[in-house]
Amino acid sequence: MNKDYMETKIQDTKIPINTNEGLEMETIQQPKENNQPPEPIQENNEESPETPDILTQIAEKEKAIRSKILNRQCRKKPIIATTDQRTKEKYTEKVQMKTHLTDTEEAISTILRNHPNKASVYLYFQPVIETAALSIGSITAENLEDCESPEEVTTTTDQKEIIETKYKYLENLTLENYLTNLQREPTPKNRYLQILATAHLQLLESAELLQSTNPAIVHFNLTPDTILYDRINATPVITDFRIAFTKDALDDENKYAELFPVFNNPYWAPEINAIAYLIETKPETVAETNDPQINTTLTPFMNRPTKEVIEELKKTYTLWDIYAINQIILECIPTNTTSIPFIEKYRELCSQYPPTITTLKQSIETLFQSIPKIEYEQFLQKIQEEEKQAEPAEAFAATPILLEKNASNEASIKS
């Protein structure tokens, strides 16, 4: 963006909405390359976010050949690889089977790591930093957690198929849960709206970054569970690239059909579901279906050859991740605020399809530049009411110290 901050003006009230340029990039310590000395590693023991059914099904198949230790997701304790205390970088290690999913994640991560804007890559994404073959025989009960006995540390699986992947450390806090807990903040200083709008703009910039890679990347699995929130750097972080793909794979006639499993994903753009349906049913020409949404997408293409229609639908790939982002943001807007005029306009912006990143970002900035004070006060009152009725979000307890650290990036509202 051309300016460090976009200010939302509520008459005499200003809500600074940060863009990525407003963040202190120097605070992001980039992971070392593989040929440099390793840094101290800290294990993240939280459960992994839920994955779509297709990933769950594949994981279930893998369990048949895993040892009990891997099925139980036992992990190595933190390993101190160096005595250098100048940097306190933290990493997460994950022990898993080597599959086409892990190969995909590694390939996509390599493209991201080679992007010239590395600071933004490590700020907005959680790519694989490095992958190494793991010898099961080297793991004992002393350096594993959540294992019942040393007898479990055995396997007949080919050791070359067991890998250990390393990622930058993130606490198990989704953007959705973070926003839910912000409703507890006192009304005069509540930052819910500020964080929501800022995160939306940052996620759109993340989508731009994915499209600027060579080749362009489609994440294909953006859900509330795959977008974590980094409280230290005040930014949403996109994770889990296991079913992502590149524009090259999408254009490959021998590969693209494998990319579209039939799955009822509410965060998938209409074109994705239409392509998946056509690949699954294999009609010679496009005809009416029993699915109203798919019919809406395919109506302009009725009676045309299926292969030709699929090629047309694939051209919309730049919209797919944006659609998912907008659906996630819509879910983050408290339901009891939808009657407030500026929220109604915001929901309309998120629901417009097809969107373009540039136009959408400009529209969001314009909307939040002038919010009537009475509407803003209504919004704060409504989210406080909803918070009293809602159960606390999981995996997060408000930490005033950490929130205070974000003060430079997330200025409080002044009444």
pLDDT in tens, 169-209: 999 999 999 999 998 888 778 899 999 999 999 999 999 99
Question: Using CA atoms, how far apart are residues 157 and 122, in angstroms rounded to an integer?
Answer: 34
So what's the pLDDT on residue 139? 54
Is the pLDDT score of 9 beyond 60?
Answer: no
When comparing pLDDT for 209 and 82, which is higher?
209
- Comparing 48-57, 221-230, 362-371, the range with the smallest average pLDDT is 48-57
Is the pLDDT score of 300 beyond 50?
Answer: yes
- 152: confidence class by pLDDT, cuts 50, 70, 90: very low
- 390: confidence class by pLDDT, cuts 50, 70, 90: low
CA separation, residue 339 to residues 130, 181, 198, 335, 372 (Å)? 48, 22, 22, 9, 14
CA separation, residue 54 to residues 255, 258, 266 (Å)? 17, 12, 14
Is the pLDDT score of 369 beyond 70?
Answer: yes
pLDDT in tens, 40-75: 334 444 444 445 565 655 555 444 433 333 333 334
CATH of the domain at 263: 1.10.510
8 Å CB contact between 260 and 250: no
Please check whether residues 235 and 362 belong to one and the same domain: yes
Question: Using CA atoms, how far apart are residues 123 and 206, in angstroms rounded to an integer?
Answer: 9
So what's the pLDDT on residue 52? 58
Please check whether residues 176 and 224 belong to one and the same domain: yes
So what's the pLDDT on residue 187? 78
Mean pLDDT, rounded, for 110-136: 92
Mean pLDDT, rounded, for 392-411: 36
| Residue type present at position 136 | I
Is the pLDDT score of 362 beyond 50?
Answer: yes
User: Is 302 within a domain?
Assistant: no
Is the pLDDT score of 95 beyond 60?
Answer: yes
User: Is 204 within a domain?
Assistant: yes
- 343: confidence class by pLDDT, cuts 50, 70, 90: very high
Please check whether residues 141 and 264 belong to one and the same domain: no
Q: Which of 124, 149, 169 is the endpoint of a domain?
A: 169
- 346: confidence class by pLDDT, cuts 50, 70, 90: very high
Q: Which of 169, 191, 217 is the endpoint of a domain?
A: 169
Please check whether residues 111 and 201 belong to one and the same domain: no
When comparing pLDDT for 258 and 11, which is higher?
258
8 Å CB contact between 396 and 35: no
So what's the pLDDT on residue 156? 42
So what's the pLDDT on residue 27? 33
The residues near 218 (Cβ < 8 Å, ≥ 6 apart) are 210, 244, 245, 246, 247, 250, 317, 320, 321
Please report, to the nearest 10 degrees, the dihedral formed by the alpha carbons of residues 53, 55, 60, 62 taken in order. Answer: 170
So what's the pLDDT on residue 406? 37
Please check whether residues 372 and 330 belong to one and the same domain: yes
Average predicted confidence (pLDDT) for the chain: 76
Mean pLDDT, rounded, for 378-382: 92
Please check whether residues 164 and 65 belong to one and the same domain: yes
Question: Using CA atoms, how far apart are residues 267 and 87, in angstroms rounded to an integer?
Answer: 39
The range of the structural domain enclosing residue 395 comes to: 172-269+316-407
Number of folded domains that form the chain: 2
